[in-house]
């Protein structure tokens, strides 16, 4: 059975194989020596910073940060990008890892996120802590908000399967909890919107901004944010109040959270047969990136309108052109033509209502 120890240098939790007497940290390369408890007295209660203590064998995902880039000074940009293809399973998706790569490219090249501050979770990662399992996704979400300070800009992007399940607590307007499906969801279960909200929304302090880009089925309110922007085809909108009748607060601790999602809670994203090689969960990410390439990324309203218009014609040649990032996306997905629009409508939710046509978008 594995146990956890903290790295002697950067304090990252490390999984210690049975019988091991030392372990090298994959982040800072420091070697932590493990004292055999049979040969050494227990440490005194007031231990110095140089001593190392095994963590509990079954740590809570809310108590430890995942292996990843060491957090730099505050006022930083941090992102968790998760793309799951479920390869070799009956749930396989074709475009999700490409979505993750393209979002990373966008964040680095347009929004100047440091490469070291982006934590990627895909099946292509060689670090076992960066495979998008349920536990690793939980740890990554905790890392995203851990130690955040005023001025920080955080982003969570997910491309993969989404689902929903009956809610029995009465805190969902439609009676369903929305969920994300980790790579091992069939054995470990899904991540429910209540947990996502409790992990990355509720703790967010004043001055910190979090954006979520959720490219999945049934994803409209997957962050459980209190307000949903209901927009019609002509661009007029109203804010729907999704606060639970129980009075449970689903907002932040003073921070700002805004989420774009691929479709409404009762909708499914387009499938591969509708988009050829531009796959189901690729449609929304594609249209989000394209909004910036076409100069429509100035306000939240302009982005949402651009995405909704583009997703109806994503199969047309005119929807595939222009821009370095879009060109990369087209190259990765190899294009493909389809006929007709998609029956999915991207959604916008937030912790507080605002004027979507005047508030500038910034990461």
Task: Provide CB contacts within 8 A for 149, sequence distance 6+.
Answer: 74, 75, 205, 207, 208
Q: Look up 74 and say whether it is catalytic.
A: no
Q: Which of 163, 348, 196, 158 is nearest to 266 (CA)?
A: 163
- Residue 2, SS3 per DSSP: coil
CB atoms within 10 A of CB 152: 21
Cα separation, 180 vs 262, whole angstroms:
13
Q: Pick the catalytic residue: 64, 161, 242, 296?
A: 161
- Residue 300, SS3 per DSSP: helix
Q: Look up 218 and say whether it is catalytic.
A: no
CA distances from 212 to 52, 223, 343 (A): 36, 8, 22
170 burial level (CB within 10 Å; 0-12, 13-18, 19+): exposed
Q: Pick the catalytic residue: 25, 148, 181, 217?
A: 217
Name the one residue in this structure whose structure tokens are 């910073």.
49
CA 79-95-302 angle, 5° bins: 60
**Phi-psi category of 267—alpha, beta or left, where left has phi over 0 and alpha has psi -120 to 50?**
beta
126-129 contacts at long range (C-beta below 8 A, 24 or more positions apart): 127/26, 127/67, 129/66, 129/67, 129/68
Q: Mind telling me the catalytic residues?
A: 161, 217
């Amino acid at each position: 059975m594995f146990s956890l120890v903290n790295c002697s240098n950067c304090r990252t939790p490390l999984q210690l194989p049975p019988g091991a007497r030392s372990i090298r940290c994959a982040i800072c390369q420091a070697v932590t020596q493990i004292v055999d408890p049979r040969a050494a007295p227990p440490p005194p209660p007031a231990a110095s910073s140089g001593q190392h203590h095994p963590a509990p064998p079954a740590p809570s995902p809310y108590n430890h940060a995942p292996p990843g880039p060491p957090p730099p000074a505050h006022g930083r940009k941090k992102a968790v990008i998760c793309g799951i293809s479920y390869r070799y399973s009956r749930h396989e998706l074709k475009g999700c890892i490409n979505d993750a790569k393209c979002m990373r490219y966008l964040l680095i090249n347009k929004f100047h996120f440091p490469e070291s501050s982006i934590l990627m979770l895909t099946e292509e990662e060689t670090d076992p802590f960066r495979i998008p399992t349920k536990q690793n996704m939980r740890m990554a979400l905790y890392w995203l908000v851990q130690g955040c300070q005023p001025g920080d800009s955080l982003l969570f992007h997910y491309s993969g399967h989404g689902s929903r399940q009956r809610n029995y607590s009465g805190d969902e307007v439609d009676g369903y909890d929305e969920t994300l499906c980790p790579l091992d969801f069939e054995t470990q279960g899904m991540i429910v919107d209540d947990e996502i909200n409790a992990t990355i929304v509720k703790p967010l302090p004043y001055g910190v901004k979090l954006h979520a880009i959720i490219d999945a089925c049934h994803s409209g309110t997957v962050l459980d944010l209190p307000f949903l922007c209901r927009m019609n085809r002509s661009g007029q909108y109203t804010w729907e109040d999704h606060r639970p009748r129980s009075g449970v607060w689903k907002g932040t601790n003073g921070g700002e959270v805004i989420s774009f999602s691929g479709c409404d809670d009762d909708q499914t994203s387009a499938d591969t047969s509708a988009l050829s090689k531009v796959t189901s969960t690729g449609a929304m990410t594609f249209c989000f990136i394209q909004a910036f390439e076409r100069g429509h990324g100035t306000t939240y309203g302009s982005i949402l309108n651009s995405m909704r218009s583009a997703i109806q014609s994503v199969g047309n040649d005119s929807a595939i052109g222009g821009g370095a990032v879009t060109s990369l996306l087209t190259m990765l997905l190899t294009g493909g033509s389809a006929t007709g629009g998609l029956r999915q409508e991207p959604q916008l939710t937030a912790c507080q209502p605002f004027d979507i046509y005047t508030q500038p978008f910034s990461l």
